[in-house]
Amino acid sequence: MQDAITAVINASDVQGKYLDGSAMDKLKGYFQSGQLRVRAATAISANAPTIVKEAVAKSLLYSDVTRPGGNMYTTRRYAACIRDMDYFLRYATYAMLAGDPSILDERVLNGLKETYNSLGVPIGTLVSAIQAMKEVTAGLVGSDAGKEMGVYFDYICSGLS
């Protein structure tokens, strides 16, 4: 896994150079947003079950996916779906704290699309559930932190599409 600091340092190291102005600006931006990131992560971890529940209510409940024949039908599959939503929220929060999406590639997206396809998990429906979670999260943490979380929710969605 990489973070905003190692990303900048690795890029300079590859060229055998000290950090230049634009690398320093990237670091400055990251450090200045530190408080915002930590505050958002604190709020999200204290409210994770509520965020997931609201996102599911907004996007999945009472849709075809929860009816007989739907991929969320049966308690086991419903629970697997809620668990997946919580994974996405938790890993997006880690990536937001790190300021870098590499943890999503390594621990979430790797092989996931193939798994979903083989289990018949409808990816379009899943993507709208993640988008609903993005909105619910922004409502909780405010628009600046919400935008930052949005980067990583969108990253997950494009990794699945």
Ligand X SMILES: CCC1=C(C)/C(=C/C2=NC(=C\c3[nH]c(/C=C4\NC(=O)[C@H](C)[C@H]4CC)c(C)c3CCC(=O)O)/C(CCC(=O)O)=C2C)NC1=O
Q: Binding site residues for (2R,3E)-phycocyanobilin, as ranges? A: 71, 76, 81
Can you tell me which residue has the tokens 């670091």?
A: 27
- Please report whether residue 133 would count as binding ligand X according to CB under 6 A: no
Tokens of 92: 């997006």
- Provide the minimum distance between the beta carbon of 81 and ligand X in the complex, in angstroms, as a whole number: 3
> Using CA atoms, how far apart are residues 137 and 55, in angstroms rounded to an integer?
9
> Using CA atoms, how far apart are residues 148 and 126, in angstroms rounded to an integer?
21
Could you give the string, one character per residue 71-100, with x where binding to ligand X holds by CB under 6 A and - elsewhere?
xx----x--xx--xx-x-------------
> Using CA atoms, how far apart are residues 16 and 19, in angstroms rounded to an integer?
10
- Please report whether residue 126 would count as binding ligand X according to CB under 6 A: yes
CB 111 within 8 A of CB 124: no
- Provide the minimum distance between the beta carbon of 22 and ligand X in the complex, in angstroms, as a whole number: 34
Nearest to 83 by CA among 122, 110, 56, 43: 56
Could you give the string, one character per residue 11-50, with x where binding to ligand X holds by CB under 6 A and - elsewhere?
----------------------------------------
> Using CA atoms, how far apart are residues 110 and 136, in angstroms rounded to an integer?
26
Which span (21-29, 92-100, 124-132, 134-142) binds ligand X, by CB under 6 A? Answer: 124-132
Which residues contribute to the site for ligand X (CB under 6 A)? 65, 71-72, 77, 80-81, 84-85, 87, 107-108, 112, 115, 119, 121-122, 125-126, 129
